[in-house]
Amino acid sequence: MFLVDLDRHMHGPFSAIIAGDKKSISYRGNNIFPPEEDVSDAKFINQEAKSHLDKIAFDNHLYHLHKIDNGIFFATVEYFKKINAEWCNLPLTTLMVSSPGEVYAGKKLDYTTDTLPVSLSWFGNTREVFLSESSQFYLELRLLSEKIDKVFSIYSSFRKEKADFTHLSEFQHIEFEGKVSFSENIDIAIGLMRHIVFYLIRNHNDSLLFFLSKKESEELQNVFSQESFTTITFTEALVMLYEDTKDERYKKFSMENFGSWQEIRLTELAGKHIIVTEFPLLQMPFYHNTASRSRNGHAVAENADIILYGFRETVGSGVRITDKKDLLRKAEIFNLPKDDYEPYLMIRDYEHYKRTAGFGMGWQRFTQWLLKLPYIWESAHVPRGHHLPNI
């Protein structure tokens, strides 16, 4: 299988390159950052405080980034209001985390979709609590009200992972949960990205043009058209990667060898944004519903990741488990502390409870893709990685 013709000029900052046995991620550049041969091993380093303050005070990059951030916020609120989704004010501390198997079970998987949460002591209690790495649980709780159908939040999320060129340890999350179907949920996520882009073109095109060429800015009009997406299963993604590289590792039905390079490469093979569905069930957070069919004897999740062209997964979505017995079985597999997750289990006991689906979009991830930035820390005024902050 060969890469599609990149002269189509699809929007995206990266290319996945093979040179012999070496895989690299090249950066294509934008108006202010030059191309680079390989950004995959870039290291996050805190700037000296005075230098950082000078950048905030005088750097046009951060001024225009501010305008883009402002536009993303108002566009998001406008879009969710349009579809009758309501804002939720939620806690940032919790005992319920998305990947408890990594925290409590004996075996740690380092290639699941979520990583260890950030823990902290709480007023001298003997147990630690966690900073939230998603608002999803609490959005589901809000939907327990029979009169509320769709909700959203915009909050910080914290994950105990080192910053790299597409990861921050603290980032802003735009999250949605609703009494909607799997396909409706994906349509809402794509609709959000489309609405943000149109809003920015109408209201902040001068800031887009600081980073992008006129042609790139114009092409944003159609970047989220229906024709710009294709949907494949995770099984099909592995087949595509194997046919492209002949790497035997892609014959293993696992996310172990599915990372940045593979995501970028898939979009180039397809020439489109890719919606990847049906990931390995036990490598996904425990609350994902099981899909109605298996893949080659493997249980798969009723979930989807939206991978933007020339980039990474930017939206993670899925359908939640409805049946309490099924959720209890998953709780046992993931070795959940039952007392901590009891409220989440109990909401299934209400007669009016309805199955929900939802998604989370990383704000800085989306901004990095949109502005074609080489490193995700360039999409934040005060980025937070694994180093102690100096500002």
Q: Which two tokens stand for residue 70?
A: 């402002």
Q: Please say whether the beta carbons of 126 and 120 come within 8 A.
A: no
CA distance 136 to 3: 37
For residue 353, pLDDT beyond 50: yes
Which residues make beta-bridge pairs with 232?
Answer: 276
- What is the rounded CA–CA span in Å between residue 239 and residue 246? 10
Q: Count up the domains in the chain and report the number.
A: 1
What's residue 251's pLDDT? 95
Please state the pTM of the whole predicted model.
0.94
Of 150, 136, 137, nearest to 178 by C-alpha is 150
How high is the pLDDT of residue 331? 81
Alpha carbons 86 and 149: distance in angstroms, whole number: 9
Q: Of residues 147 and 285, which shows the higher confidence score? A: 147
Separation between Cα atoms, residue 305 and residue 153, nearest integer Å: 19
Domain containing 168 — which CATH number?
A: 3.30.930.10
Is 181 among the domain residues? yes
- Would you say residue 164 lies in a domain? yes
The proportion of the chain whose per-residue pLDDT surpasses 70, expressed as a percent, equals: 93
Domain presence at residue 387? no
Residue 319 reports pLDDT greater than 90:
yes
Lowest model confidence (mean pLDDT) among 63-72, 113-122, 364-373: 113-122
**Residue 1 falls inside a structural domain:** no
Residue type, 377: W
In a domain, 62, yes or no: yes
pLDDT score at 107: 52
% pLDDT > 90, the chain: 79
Q: What is the mean pLDDT of the chain?
A: 91
Phi, then psi, of 308 in degrees rounded to 5: -80, 150
In a domain, 266, yes or no: yes
- Give 29-67 pLDDT, tens digit per residue: 999 999 999 999 999 999 899 999 999 999 999 999 999
Evaluate whether residue 366 is within a structural domain: yes
Structural domain boundaries, residue 19: 6-379
- Quick: pLDDT tens for 229-288: 999 999 999 999 999 999 999 999 999 999 999 999 999 999 999 999 999 998 888 899
In a domain, 390, yes or no: no
Residues ≥6 apart with Cβ < 8 Å to 284:
112, 113, 301, 303, 318
Nearest to 226 by CA among 165, 183, 260: 183
Reported as a single tens digit per residue, the pLDDT across 202-212 is 999 999 999 99
